[in-house]
Structure 1
Amino acid sequence: MSLINGILHPKNVVAQLVEQNVSHYVTLPDSETAHMYEALMAEPSITVVPVSREGEAIPVAAGLFIAGQNPIISIQNAGLYEAGDSLRGLGLGIGLPLVMFIGYRGHNRKGDTPDTAAVMLEPYLHLWRVDYFVIESDEDLDRVPLAFDRAKKTNQPVALAIGTEYAKEPSIDSIMGGAK
């Protein structure tokens, strides 16, 4: 993904998740979400639950929800396609108010991407009648509580399509110019 869409700081996203009382972050870790993963590992109130395939994320989140927890999932757009039956059978089938962070790999504002994973995401969400918001920078983080509210009101999954990479947080060494 390109950073032309803006900067998205993981700590700001995590703060939004804490504000929404998220208990578990169910994810298939990948290189594009590595900085987010690091920020989540530093947040004691959210348990990171790695899965081995995207198709497992929704069932794991459904189990956590049934157990009284407040999970979210984070997978790539191509992974959402692989998870389609879980979305149909569990997310939509049981009315799961699940917020899904979906990596919008290949997205850019101009819409001229050759990446079919990006080209197909919004039509795919429309096909399943899944409401969604696009997040391209920290300025868009006001959409996170909107997604949680919509999921609760409709008892349906809501997607947050992440249209940029998570920024690497500066280390204390880089801030202090390498001094210790």
Structure 2
Amino acid sequence: MTVSRENSKLVYQGIKEAGIRFITALPETWLVYLLQMAEDDPEMTLIEVAREEEAVGIAAGAYFAGTPNLMLLQNHGFFGAINGIVSLALLYSVPLCMLIAHRGHMGEPYPWHTRGGILTEPILRSMGIPFDYARDPRQVGRQIREAHTLSLSSLSPVALLLTRDLMEGSV
């Protein structure tokens, strides 16, 4: 299957409705339309990084500058950002709203994604990071707003897992 352009539009609309105008991201297949929309939107600042751990520092800087922001990353990228999440966001109570492409979950056809899909949820739990699943395009805007609000009120990382149903339009 291919990435759903329509569902990506709804995710992007949810990001904007949450008041977010600053995104850090590393390009990934499921995020392609989100990144294109952010890049084409004069109201949005998109910082593409070489490593996801860089995105943690940039997002923290945006927060300290008073700019609502979020991180777009794949679950394998989340693993690469763990040091920054622990040593910066968790240690210094920095809110991080993370939209994570949840690759390697049920229905995953590519073997290189499966281990990450199996480990994402247990790692989030072990780190004490609240998370939810975005499956329904009709609910994703509300879920993004709620995840962003929780990250701010808890001064903590929060993750919204973008599922195959949402990103490939299976629902």
Category of TM-score, reference length = shorter chain? 0.7 to 0.9
Which one-letter code corresponds to 1:122 in the other structure?
E
Give the letter for the 1:158 counterpart: V
Q: After the TM superposition, which residues 149-160 of structure 1 pair with which residues of structure 2 at under 5 Å, given as runs? A: 149-160=149-160
Picking from 83, 86, 109, the partner of 2:84 is: 86
Larger Rg: 1
1:42 deviation in Å? Answer: 2.8
Q: Of 16, 21, 31, which residue of structure 1 is paired with 2:14? A: 16
Following TM superposition, by how much is the alpha carbon of 1:8 offset from its aligned partner in structure 2, in angstroms? 6.2
CA distance 1:12–1:115, shift in 2 (3 Å): same
| Runs of 5+ consecutive residues of structure 1 not aligned to the other structure | 169-180
The 5 Å alignment of 1:123-162 reads 123-141=122-140, 142-162=142-162
SS of the equivalent of 1:9 reads: helix
> Counterparts of 2:43 and 2:11 in 1: how far apart (Å)?
14
Q: Distance in 2 between matches of 1:64 and 1:146?
A: 19
Letter in 2 for 1:135: A
Stretches of structure 2 that go unaligned for 5 or more consecutive residues are none
Q: CA deviation at 1:166?
A: 3.5
> Contact conserved, 1:133 with 1:161, CA < 8 A, in 2?
yes
1:43-62: CA deviations, max 9, x gaps? 22211110001111111111
Q: How many residues align?
A: 163
Match of 2:118 in 1: 119
Output the TM-score relative to the length of structure 1: 0.81
How big is each residue's C-alpha offset from its partner over 1:85-124, in whole Å with a ceiling of 9 and x where there is no partner? 10101111111111101111112279xx881100000000
Query: Does the 8 A contact of 1:10 with 1:39 survive in 2?
Result: no
For residues 107-150 of structure 1, what are the alpha-carbon distances to aligned partners after superposition, in whole Å with 9 as ceiling and x for unaligned?
2279xx88110000000000110001111230331211111121
Residue in 2 that maps onto 1:174:
none
Q: How many percent identity over aligned positions?
A: 23
Aligned alpha-carbon RMSD (Å): 2.4
Task: Pick closer, same or farther for the CA change 1:155–1:52 going to 2, 3 Å.
Answer: same
Matches for 1:162-173 after TM superposition, within 5 Å: 162-164=162-164, 166=167
The amino acid that maps onto 1:95 is S
Q: Which of the pair is proportionally richer in helix? A: 2
Distance 2:168 2:12 in 1: 13
- Cα distance between partner residues in 1 of 2:13 and 2:120: 26
CA apart distance, 1:156: 0.6
Q: Is the 8 A contact 1:108 1:163 kept in 2?
A: no
4+ residue runs over 6 A deviation = none
